[in-house]
Amino acid sequence: MLTKRIIPCLDVKDNRVVKGVHFLNLRDAGDPVELGARYSDEGADELVFLDITATIRYRKTLVELVEKVAENVFIPFTVGGGIQTVEQIDELLRSGAEKVSVNTAAVDNPGILTEAAQRFGSQCVVLAIDARRPKEKTGRWQVCVKAGTEPTDIDVVEWAVKAEKLGAGEILLTSMDTDGTKAGYDNELNKAVSDAVNIPVIASGGAGKLEHLYDAIIDGGADAVLMASITHFGNYTIKQMKEYLRDRGIAVNL
């Protein structure tokens, strides 16, 4: 049986790891390669590196970052940020990333998911969705693009279902409403998406306490939980998170 995964997320801006609240008010959290190596050594299951400087366009510096990370990190890692073409995905996979995440590019051109899945296998293709509850209460979520700056009319659950058909192998689902708040994941959102698709869903946005991780897996149906603030700023170690989950009966790699 596969274990549930603990995935620290490193948002990288100008070669530093940063973390904000609701995607704003960024705070410095260290060097990406050093921090990545530390999490790899401490027993994280995977890492996600998102270049948040890039969101509008792909930058060559991302390749350099991936190469350095690959020399120091011995667990699988995903990279994302401003990726627009299959050639860029190829370059990042060759540089040492296991998976590449796309967000805005897939909304603009959903065919990129199919093209990438056919060429590299769907296990390499992660669809990142930044989800937001609209102001009027509709019980639905809207997809936002360009690092959360642009809301669209696309419904999150419908988009996730479509993306799976197109070739996405995994969904990295971030709630912009809970991001950085440490108030818990949006498990209504996680549940709505994980019930609708067969591929793994990574819950993201809002981890503050250990029980939030448990809730995202049990109530939200998540296969993996992603966190940033609570690991970067030393609230909990990877080991503490895994021991907590194990003690509550969840299979983890410990």
Partner 1 sequence: MIVVIDYNVGNVKSVCNAFCHIGCEVELSRESAVIEDAAGLVLPGVAAFGYAVSALGDLAELIKEVARAGKPLLGICVGYQMLFDQSSEYGRHKGLGLVEGSVVPIPPGRVIPHMGWNLVKLPEGMDLFSGLGEEKHFYFAHSFYADVTDGQSKIAYADYGFNMPVSIQKANIYGTQFHPEKSGRTGLKVLKNFAEICERKD
Which of the following is catalytic: 45, 51, 130, 179?
Answer: 130
The correct pick among 27, 57, 94, 248 for binding partner 1 (CB under 8 A) is 94
- How many residues can be counted in the chain? 254
Q: 34 burial class (0-12, 13-18, 19+ CB within 10 angstroms)?
A: exposed
Question: Does residue 233 touch partner 1 according to CB under 8 A?
Answer: no
Separation in Å, CA 158 to CA 200, 215, 216: 16, 24, 21
CA distance 151 to 215: 27
Is 31 considered catalytic here?
no
Question: Does residue 5 touch partner 1 according to CB under 8 A?
Answer: yes
**Phi first, then psi: what are they for 20, rounded to 5°?**
-120, -165
Our CB check for partner 1 shows the closer of 41 and 87 to be 41
The correct pick among 61, 114, 235, 253 for binding partner 1 (CB under 8 A) is 253
For residue 88, the minimal CB distance to partner 1 (Å) is: 16
The correct pick among 41, 64, 150, 211 for binding partner 1 (CB under 8 A) is 41
Question: Does residue 221 touch partner 1 according to CB under 8 A?
Answer: no
**Phi first, then psi: what are they for 245, rounded to 5°?**
-65, -45
Our CB check for partner 1 shows the closer of 94 and 165 to be 94
| Full 3-state SS string of 3-52 | CCEEEEEEEEECCEEEEEECCEEEEEEECHHHHHHHHHHHCCCCEEEEEC
Question: Does residue 3 touch partner 1 according to CB under 8 A?
Answer: yes
Question: Does residue 165 touch partner 1 according to CB under 8 A?
Answer: no
CA distance 170 to 142: 19
Separation in Å, CA 182 to CA 35, 121, 153, 191, 224: 20, 35, 27, 19, 17
Question: Does residue 198 touch partner 1 according to CB under 8 A?
Answer: yes
Is 14 considered catalytic here?
no
Question: Does residue 45 touch partner 1 according to CB under 8 A?
Answer: yes
Question: Does residue 43 touch partner 1 according to CB under 8 A?
Answer: yes
Question: Does residue 123 touch partner 1 according to CB under 8 A?
Answer: yes
Within residues 50-89, the interface with partner 1 by CB under 8 A covers 70-72, 74-76
Question: Does residue 110 touch partner 1 according to CB under 8 A?
Answer: no
Residue appearing with tokens 């050594």? 41
Which part of the chain contacts partner 1 (CB under 8 A), choosing from 38-46, 79-87, 103-111, 176-184?
38-46
CA distance 138 to 56: 29
Residues annotated catalytic, as ranges? 11, 130
Binding site for partner 1 (CB under 8 A): 1-3, 5, 40-41, 43-45, 70-72, 74-76, 93-94, 96, 98, 121, 123, 198, 200, 253-254
